[in-house]
């Protein structure tokens, strides 16, 4: 696919992520049920969710890719892989464990599907088919752990202060610190495994692409 269409794909991905986050914030502001008493608190609290953070990272990296088609800087490489893995975790966990628990309508359903389905699918397809190869490595994979570890630490500290946690698996008030810490370890391990898998797949796709190019353009002997 041409560079033009790749940039269009990444641009659409970024727009969907921004729209999903904006709708999620708007619906949270008007949802009077729950822990937080004011619309401002509910809107601000939306950013505490892993799903929203993942979509924001994708929005930024996809926007950059739409403009410059993925610059090879180490900072961008880490952010790109972080967003890819985080949004993959978001989509898989939601559809495996959470989707059947919700009965959403109207804008709640639209926002929910954008951040949990549309953006993950667009992100994974875009990375597999349209992204330049050779933009990740073991070092990038290790650095991508910075996001989930930081998010987990922030969530535990904030939760202890306000007595609220965004997800059950990290809710210390019901699980205790030992169980919550173990769950955090498994989440980090899953994130690392997916990052390592993406790194290996990137290398494989890069080799396959080069071999295909060599087959299609054989060398011509000159006299």
> For 45-87, how does the pLDDT look when each residue is reduced to its tens digit (9 = 90+)?
999 999 999 999 999 999 999 998 777 789 999 999 999 999 9
| pLDDT, the chain, mean | 87
* More confident site: 20 or 39: 20
Residue 5 has pLDDT above 50, yes or no: yes
**C-alpha–C-alpha distance, residues 126 and 121, integer Å:** 8
Report whether pLDDT(120) > 70.
yes
User: Is the CA virtual torsion 129, 132, 138, 144 positive or negative?
Assistant: negative
Question: What's the pLDDT score for residue 221?
Answer: 52
pTM for the full predicted model: 0.88
pLDDT tens digits for range 184-214: 898 888 899 999 999 999 888 887 655 555 5
Name residues whose C-beta falls within 8 Å of residue 150's C-beta, 6 or more positions apart in sequence: none
Decide which of 101 and 181 is more confident. Answer: 181
DSSP letters along 75-139, please?
A: HHHHHHHHHHHHHHHHHHHIIIIIGGG----HHHHHHHHIIIIIHHHHHHHIIIIISPSS---HH
| 220: pLDDT strictly greater than 70 | no
Query: Could you give the C-alpha distances from 10 to 58, 66, 117, 156, in angstroms and in order?
Result: 9, 5, 16, 33
Determine what percent of the chain falls in helix, strand and coil, rounding each to the nearest 5.
80, 0, 20
């Amino acid at each position: 696919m041409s560079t033009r269409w790749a940039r269009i794909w990444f641009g659409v991905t970024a727009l969907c992520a921004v729209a999903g986050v904006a709708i999620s914030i708007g619906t949270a502001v008007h949802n009077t049920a729950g822990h937080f008493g004011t619309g401002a608190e509910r809107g601000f609290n939306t950013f505490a969710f892993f799903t929203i953070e993942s979509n924001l990272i994708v929005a930024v990296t996809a926007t950059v890719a739409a403009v410059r088609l993925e610059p090879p800087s180490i900072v961008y490489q880490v952010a790109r892989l972080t967003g890819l893995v985080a949004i993959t975790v978001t989509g898989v966990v939601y559809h495996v464990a959470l989707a059947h628990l919700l009965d959403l309508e109207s804008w709640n359903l639209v926002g929910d599907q954008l951040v949990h389905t549309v953006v993950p699918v667009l992100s994974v397809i875009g990375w597999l088919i349209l992204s330049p190869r050779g933009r990740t490595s073991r070092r990038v994979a290790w650095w991508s752990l910075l996001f989930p570890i930081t998010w987990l630490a922030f969530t535990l500290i904030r939760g202890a202060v306000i007595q609220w946690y965004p997800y059950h698996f990290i809710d210390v008030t019901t699980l205790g610190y030992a169980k919550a810490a173990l769950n955090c370890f498994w989440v980090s391990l899953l994130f690392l495994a997916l990052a390592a898998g993406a790194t290996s797949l990137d290398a494989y796709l890069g080799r396959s692409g080069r071999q295909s190019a060599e087959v299609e353009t054989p060398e011509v002997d000159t006299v």
